[in-house]
Amino acid sequence: MAITVRIPTPLQRLTNGQGEVQCDGKTVAELLGDLERRHPGVKERICDETGKLRRFVNVFVNEEDIRFMQGDQTAIKDGDEVSIIPAIAGGAS
């Protein structure tokens, strides 16, 4: 068992086209570290230089926004599902 991470469409280029990958960690921060080890380049799209989550990216653990839990210190365990959802600007012109 591991933790399932759902990768948003634009970042799937960095995960060999996979929409879901398996990672490990006891917290969201650890998980993102593991994600970066397995798929280099992903983390910088999710976090800024200081390692803080970018403000237009939301992370959900089992469908709960981590902003309403303990942020990147939110505890996770095997079998959990983590979704990464970025804002999208695109539309008209």
Partner 1 sequence: MGLSQDQVRRYGRQLLLPEFGVRGQERLLRASALLIGMGGLGSPAALYLAAAGVGRLGLLDSEPVEAGNLHRQVLHDTQAIGRSKVDSAQARLRALNPAIEVVALRERLEASNALRVLESYDLVLDGSDNMPTRYLANDACVLLGKPLVHGAAIRLQGQVLTILPRRSACLRCVFPEPPQAGELPSCQAEGVLGSVTGLIGALMAHEALKLLGGFGTPLADRLLTFDGIASGWREVPVRRDPQCAVCGDHVQTSDIRRIVHAAAAV
Positions touching partner 1 (CB under 8 A) are: 6, 8-10, 12, 17, 19, 54-56, 58, 60, 63-65, 68, 83, 85-93
Q: Residue 75 or residue 88: which is nearer to partner 1 going by CB?
A: 88
Least distance CB 76 / partner 1 (angstroms): 16
Task: Return the H-helix or E-strand segment holding 30.
Answer: helix 28-38
Least distance CB 65 / partner 1 (angstroms): 7
Q: Residue 9 or residue 50: which is nearer to partner 1 going by CB?
A: 9
CA–CA gap between residue 93 and residue 90 (Å, rounded): 8
Least distance CB 24 / partner 1 (angstroms): 22
Q: Which residue has the tokens 């399932």?
A: 4
Tallying the residues shown for the chain, one arrives at 93
Q: Residue 1 or residue 17: which is nearer to partner 1 going by CB?
A: 17
Whether 19 contacts 12, CB under 8 Å: yes
User: What pairs with residue 86 in β-bridges?
Assistant: 57
